[in-house]
Amino acid sequence: MLIGDRLRTFREFFLHAQAATEKRTGLLRCYISRVENGHTVPAVETLERLARAFEVPLYQIFYEGEEPPKLPDPPKTAAEMAWGNFGKDAHFLNRLRSFLGRVEDRDRKLLLSMAQKMAVSKRRNHLSARA
Confidence of residue 131 (pLDDT cuts 50, 70, 90): low
pLDDT over threshold 90, residue 31: yes
Cα–Cα distance measured from residue 104 to residue 9, given in angstroms and rounded to the nearest whole number: 74
Residues 33-45 pLDDT 10s: 999 998 988 999 9
Domain 3-62 architecture: Orthogonal Bundle (1.10)
pLDDT of residue 120: 86
Cα–Cα distance measured from residue 69 to residue 59, given in angstroms and rounded to the nearest whole number: 8
pTM of the full predicted structure? 0.50
